[in-house]
């Protein structure tokens, strides 16, 4: 068990989740706009279970999919961070970077800003040699975040093992960023 680490950016705090995040997270989880590329909305119980799982991982490792709060108001707006996927993927083992924001907070640069802090943590503190990101081929907003971070797309796509066979979201693209490329690009 490690004490959870908090990161800070110009506008955001990346922190351990709080019980009070459950309600705004459930609202996000029920929003078809947010969950469109994630196999659709989930109910409050499934949202709470996901929150519990993320909280436990942060408690165990000190890092994970941190809750995002606006510095100015402390409002919870979603999550961004690092994770070891539990699915067996063609490029496992790996550490992924991921993000999910409430719809009202899209289009403000928050995901990219938080992800930059998570990348710096992964490379400087965890000393990772590489961080990956992956998403459904049709998830262009998420791929745009990957590109803004300087991640490079692999030519080979893959079928996500947790998405039902034949589902339109099954085909995923993979982006990679090595520590050396991240340092080069500054």
Ligand X SMILES: CC(C)(COP(=O)(O)OP(=O)(O)OC[C@H]1O[C@@H](n2cnc3c(N)ncnc32)[C@H](O)[C@@H]1OP(=O)(O)O)[C@@H](O)C(=O)NCCC(=O)NCCS
Vertex 61, ends 130 and 98: CA angle to 5°? 50
Residues in the chain: 186
DSSP H/E element including 66: strand 65-70
User: H or E element: which one contains 131?
Assistant: strand 130-136
Q: CB 6 → ligand X: shortest distance, Å?
A: 20
> Which residue, 38 or 59, has its beta carbon nearer to ligand X?
38
3-class secondary structure, 146: helix
**Side-chain-facing half-sphere of 139: CA atoms under 13 Å:** 27
DSSP bridge pairs for 55: none
As measured in angstroms, the least distance from the Cβ of 38 to ligand X is 6
Residue 139 in contact with ligand X, rule: CB under 6 A: yes
**158 binds ligand X per the rule CB under 6 A:** no
Q: Is 167 in the site for ligand X (CB under 6 A)?
A: no
Q: Which of 12, 54, 82, 101 binds ligand X (CB under 6 A)?
A: 101
Q: Shortest distance, CB of residue 106 to ligand X, whole angstroms? A: 4
> Using CA atoms, how far apart are residues 60 and 62, in angstroms rounded to an integer?
6
Binding flag, residue 172, ligand X (CB under 6 A): no
What does the alpha-carbon distance between residue 5 and residue 172 come to, in Å, rounded to a whole number? 31
Candidates 48, 106, 116, 178; binder of ligand X (CB under 6 A) is 106
Q: x-or-dash pattern for ligand X, window 14-43, by CB under 6 A?
A: --------------------x--xx-----
Is residue 160 a contact point for ligand X (CB under 6 A)?
A: no
Instruction: Answer yes or no whether residue 142 interacts with ligand X by CB under 6 A.
Output: yes
Task: Name which of 53, 70, 38 is nearest 167 in CA terms.
Answer: 38
Kindly state whether residue 109 participates in binding ligand X, applying the rule CB under 6 A. Answer: yes
Contact pick of 107, 125, 129, 183 for ligand X (by CB under 6 A): 107
| Residue 181 phi, psi (nearest 5) | -65, -40
Binding residues (CB under 6 A) for ligand X: these are 34, 37-38, 98-101, 106-112, 135, 139, 141-142, 144-145
């Amino acid at each position: 068990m490690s004490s959870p680490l908090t990161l800070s950016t110009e506008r955001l705090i990346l922190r351990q989740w709080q019980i009070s995040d459950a309600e705004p997270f459930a609202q996000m989880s029920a929003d078809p706009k947010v969950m469109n590329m994630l196999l659709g909305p989930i109910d409050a119980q499934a949202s709470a279970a996901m929150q519990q799982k993320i909280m436990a991982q942060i408690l165990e490792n000190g890092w994970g999919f941190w809750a995002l709060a606006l510095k100015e108001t402390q409002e919870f707006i979603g999550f961004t961070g690092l994770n070891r996927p539990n699915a067996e993927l063609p490029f496992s083992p790996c550490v992924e970077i991921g993000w999910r924001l409430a719809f009202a907070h899209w289009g403000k640069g928050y995901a990219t800003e938080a992800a930059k802090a998570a990348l710096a943590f992964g490379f400087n503190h965890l000393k990772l040699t590489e961080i990956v990101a992956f998403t459904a081929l049709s998830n262009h907003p998420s791929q745009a975040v990957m590109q803004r971070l300087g991640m490079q797309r692999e030519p080979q796509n893959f079928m996500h093992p947790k998405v039902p066979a034949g589902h339109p979201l099954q085909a995923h693209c993979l982006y990679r960023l090595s520590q050396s490329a991240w340092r080069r690009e500054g």
